[in-house]
Amino acid sequence: MDVSTVTAAELDRFKAWFYLEVLKSDFPNGREVVGICDIGELKQLKKFLKTVPIDGGRWGAVPDFFGRLRLMPGIELKWWFDDGPGPWIIVCQPNQDFTWALLKQEIKAKAQEIPLERKYKICADSLSLLRWILELHPEEFLSRLTPPIDDVIETEIGFSPEWEDDNLRAYIEVLIDEINEQTDFHLRAVDWHKYGKTVTRILVKKKEDDMQAITRSIQMLGLKKNRQVHGTKITAAINDLLA
């Protein structure tokens, strides 16, 4: 794996390797701190990062790769890539609401889901955008808005826009239209002003399924007649009719 630069392909490759290692491992205590990487010598660190030190032999901040690595919620990733003689380490453990046993169940459940490329008939770039949205952690959303996407399209999302930079927003909206037409999601591009610059966030909603839409319509009809109809009664009645 190449962790010296951030690419969506290498991020996915690292996650696939990591989840496989978790499934193969035993965790008798349930909440062990697990070492991913332990580098003790500068020459090993150079080989690992495939870069050279900055001026003065200092390595500076943690490699951006691990800052962008988005493991499933429940896993805390920590690292130490500080200046000095080392060692340089990466470790992980379950957060307070999880154990390794629960995380294994989550990994197995995710592996059994229908892959997005089989579930939805959309182009590769739309697929990459939707996958990125679905892998965001809840705390990364601002209400229902994703983080700004402008600077992560080629790194985290993983595609090179077919159109020039001036038309990037238009290209994103074309992808969003396809996702809205072909999936059960409803997305909308939103201008966001940040430090005097306009960036793009995406408002994320799920479409109502047929039962939800019918239930809401009947409840609205009831309100027009000054009647309040409970949703469970509507669902039960529809299920009886369908049966």
CA distance 36 to 90: 5
The residue written with tokens 């408002």 in the block is 203
For residue range 97-107, what is the model confidence (pLDDT) as tens digits? 899 999 999 99
- The two three-digit tokens of residue 61, written as one number: 């901040």
- Residue 25 burial by CB count (10 A; 0-12/13-18/19+): exposed, middle or buried? exposed
Predicted TM-score (pTM) of this structure: 0.78
Element spanning 64, H or E:
helix 64-68
Average pLDDT, rounded, for the chain: 87
Number of domains composing the chain: 3
CA atoms within 13 A on the CB side of 141: 14
Asked, for residue 162, whether it belongs to a domain, the answer is yes
The domain in which residue 92 lies consists of 8-106
Quick one: pLDDT at residue 57? 46
Contact 68, 76 (CB under 8 A): no
Element spanning 201, H or E:
strand 197-206
DSSP annotation string for 147-182: PP-TTTIIIII----SS-GGGHHHHHHHHHHHHHHH
- The two three-digit tokens of residue 217, written as one number: 């319509």
Sort strands 34-39 and 185-194 into parallel, antiparallel or unpaired. Answer: unpaired
The domain boundary, picked from 56, 77, 106, lies at 106
Asked, for residue 1, whether it belongs to a domain, the answer is no
The set of long-range contacts for 92-95, using a CB threshold of 8 Å and a minimum separation of 24, is 92/33, 92/34, 92/36, 93/31, 93/32, 93/33, 93/34, 94/30, 94/31
Do residues 145 and 124 both lie within one domain?
Answer: yes
CA distance 176 to 182: 10
Question: How confident is the model over 168-175, as a mean pLDDT?
Answer: 93
Element spanning 134, H or E:
helix 124-135
**CATH (domain of 162):** 1.10.10.10
Residue 60 has pLDDT above 70, yes or no: no
Do residues 92 and 74 both lie within one domain?
Answer: yes
Asked, for residue 62, whether it belongs to a domain, the answer is yes
Contact 176, 185 (CB under 8 A): no
For residue range 108-149, what is the model confidence (pLDDT) as tens digits? 999 999 999 999 999 999 999 999 999 999 999 999 999 999
Asked, for residue 102, whether it belongs to a domain, the answer is yes
Do residues 202 and 123 both lie within one domain?
Answer: yes
Question: How confident is the model over 174-202, as a mean pLDDT?
Answer: 93
Residue 222 has pLDDT above 90, yes or no: no
CA distance 120 to 118: 6
Do residues 201 and 218 both lie within one domain?
Answer: no
The per-residue b/e assignment along 92-122, b for 16 or more CB within 10 angstroms, e otherwise, is bbbeeebbbeebeebbeeeeeeeeeeeebeb
Do residues 161 and 195 both lie within one domain?
Answer: yes
Do residues 95 and 135 both lie within one domain?
Answer: no
